[in-house]
Structure 1
């Protein structure tokens, strides 16, 4: 069942499940273009019965066709990672909602691309795309199966969101963020630190270099991609596409870290309005000592988030049990094979 309220200025609400159709946007009919231009707030509820493919297409079309969209919440809908992968598809449509302030969603890798999507490479593209296309975000809530949070994954690229007030990132990645990964969040004045502390905090900026093979691949991809851009006639947002691509490299991450360092030396810090921060990696459920990096941060807990964390913890426990069971079965089979050979 679908309920749309076109009479409410710029507001639409989707309720229950939309049936999977060849064109998930057909529900708007011939007035779709006009509706999209007026849309400012959209919340999609109870969409768990929709297929991954249909939900992702619907979300992509909305983000690419609603230039005045300010608030988008669809925590049960999945957005495929390939939609913002400008490395695989350099001329893919960019999101039109450049003034987006609220964004709640779950992202997911398509099975075909699952292996390629893992690791820092795809995470850097995700962070770069969001920070460049939606720099005015205030409330960001992303749940992603393979999102990485280590420094090389480019989580610091989100520092370009100057107005960010709430940030929730969830992932089942096993990597636990360390001091090295989160030091850039600190509001401590680097000028008041000891020389040894300064060296410890920022020496990774100099050492943050891509492996030779990855650096060569970046150069080759950059040449090919920029040739495509130069040959494409009237390709919209050319400079923005180039900026996203540049930021998604290891060199782009190092440049961002250097910018953060220079800002700190002048008493400026990323996310000056940040009020809520939750990082939910698979290695643990929450970062309780986040105030070590942001002493003035008001750490908040909401019942809704706590419930979500409990569900995540239960799921993680079951996943670990299944993994251990598979390892046990594999070891038993290996022992049987060895005994048979003997």
Structure 2
């Protein structure tokens, strides 16, 4: 084999399969060590005999990997294992790949001791849902806080990919502690609480340092007392992402149907599981994503949209061509105009928030000078940097809601029937992809396909373009699994 021309192979990735060590050694002997820079063997099925790690490390010594991953199904890795595989084998790596349930606080400490040059972090999908679900596995409840802190201290990160299940706790985005405002429809229950957080595992809100982030794939969870169930929570998520990550081109958000609250002074039962409820109505702030000037791919999987929080056409049709018609603009303005009582309640809660001293939550990664404390803002009479941009995070802002849902740039980019070039890509908006409608639930077998709702013709189409029936868009609510996808062509 030494006399043959090396294989022109640059990367090799396997997941959830069997692959003997002898086969891997034959492969590595056939490639050029200078060209072969990426090796990922993810959740391998255990084979007999198992891998000899000493021999494997010796085989890998000549290579200079930019990315490396090795894991075996159902076997947790120790800190020493991860140190060998991620740091010793590829000390110059700019891409890290690890299973999220292998993440422990010591790993973060290890990463912080290294030069901060990571541009890509990938957490591959676990072989088993039980391994990562916060509902099925309490031990992974705090992994999202570790990931959040990593984002707050990684200014060079560009891609955060393949994040599944228990990955991102939205409370880390709530730098003003407005998530406790709750549902303003229940005005009699609205009271601002400023109880001290005593749980050592509670997430500390902060601002991500990775402002050059282009790819963001996360699963949203809510582990604190208020959960992930009110419009203010989705406003915090959409507002935070659209301001802190202005360069996003690929955004994929997943909201699981179930989540678990941590054990606190208010939730003493650690087994408390609740159903999430992600708001996609106009007041939920989805239109704030129109701030993202370079966004070309958007996917939202919301498994928990109830009839109460689900959306009507008036909430989403601003994305499609018909949403720009005068009658639809008027409908949106009427929706926003009806927020008067909620704005009054919110103003009272905001006053209580400031009066009780809960101005800004303790935040991470703010020492870069972009952030100004509220006291300083009061003295100077102004805000600057991120503090100014995040001033209204989570609040109703009538004027911006109207402007965002009628943004000429958004309509020009995503409703036009002709493909437009954005950052070197061509894409066309393909409507709102759904698996179910309230009027016509799809059979389980059929729901494995992707269906398209043609907003202009008001019909549902399958992937072959065949009509499935008319949709009464002005009457029926999309209240099941919802997809919103911008697709490249």
1:4 matched residue in structure 2: 86
Shift of 1:269: 4.8
In structure 1, which of residues 9, 15, 30 is the aligned counterpart of residue 113 of structure 2? 30
Residues 176 and 360 of structure 2 are in contact (CA less than 8 Å); yes or no, is this contact kept in structure 1?
no
Are the equivalent residues in 1 in contact too, given 2:290–2:404 (CA < 8 A)?
A: no
Identify the match of residue 56 of structure 1 among 125, 144, 147.
144
Within the candidate set 153, 171, 179, 1:82 is matched to 171
Call closer, same or farther: CA 1:198–1:77 in 2, change over 3 Å.
closer
| CA–CA distance in structure 1, aligned partners of residues 408 and 338 of structure 2 | 20
User: Over residues 240-297 of structure 1, what are the superposed CA-to-partner deviations in whole Å (9 max), with x where a residue is unaligned?
Assistant: 134224142112x541322442526x964569756576577997799945441799xx
3-state SS of the aligned residue for 1:105?
Answer: strand
Q: Distance in 2 between matches of 1:294 and 1:62?
A: 46
Q: Choose between structure 1 and 2: higher helix proportion.
A: 1
**How far apart in 2 are the matches of 1:281 and 1:125?**
27
Contact 2:95 2:119 in 1 (8 A): yes
1:213 correspondence with 2:345: yes
Out of 206, 210, 217, which is 1:104 matched to?
217
Q: Which residue of 1 aligns with 2:321?
A: 187
Q: 2-side partners of 1:121 and 1:281: how far apart?
A: 26
Say which is worse superposed, 96-105 or 286-295, in terms of deviation: 286-295
CA contact (8 A) 1:41 1:72 kept: yes
What secondary structure sits across from 1:112 in the alignment? coil
**Residues 278 and 244 (structure 1 numbering): CA distance in 2 closer, same or farther, change over 3 Å?**
farther
Q: What runs of 5+ residues in structure 1 fail to find an aligned partner?
A: 302-315, 318-342
Q: Secondary structure at the match of 1:140?
A: strand
Q: Secondary structure at the match of 1:181?
A: helix
Q: Secondary structure at the match of 2:167?
A: strand
Separation in structure 1 between the aligned mates of residue 157 and residue 98 of structure 2, nearest angstrom: 15
- SS, match of residue 97 in structure 2: strand
Q: TM-score, normalised by structure 1?
A: 0.68
2:392 is matched with: 246
Q: Following the alignment from structure 1 to structure 2, what is the Cα–Cα distance between the partners of residues 294 and 269?
A: 20
Larger proportion of strand: 2
**Is this contact kept in 2: 1:189–1:267, CA < 8 A?**
no
Q: What's 2:455 paired with? A: 292
Aligned twin of 2:73: none
| Distance 1:260-1:109 versus aligned 2 partners, 3 A rule | closer
Question: CA RMSD, aligned part only?
Answer: 4.1
Task: Look up the SS of the partner of 1:246 in the other structure.
Answer: coil
Q: Relative to 1, partners in 2 of residues 1:263 and 1:220: Cα closer, same or farther, differing over 3 Å?
A: farther
User: Quick check: which has more Rg, 1 or 2?
Assistant: 2
Asked whether 1:203 is paired with 2:334, we answer yes
Match of 1:261 in 2: 406
Length, aligned pairs only: 286
Q: What do residues 135-171 of structure 1 show as CA deviations (whole Å, max 9, x unaligned)?
A: 2212111112432111111111111112222222223
Taking structure 1 as reference, are residues 92 and 279 closer, same or farther at Cα in structure 2, changes over 3 Å only? farther
Q: Cα gap change, 1:18/1:188 in structure 2, threshold over 3 Å: closer, same or farther?
A: same
| Alignment match, 2:473 | none
1:155 aligns with 2:318: no
Counterpart Cα distance in 1 of 2:462 and 2:154: 34
The secondary structure found in structure 1 opposite 2:311 is coil
- Which deviations, in whole Å up to 9, do the C-alpha atoms of 1:93-124 show, x marking residues without a partner? 3101111111112121115332xx42101111
Q: For the residues of structure 2 that align with 1:43 and 1:164, how far apart are their CA atoms?
A: 20
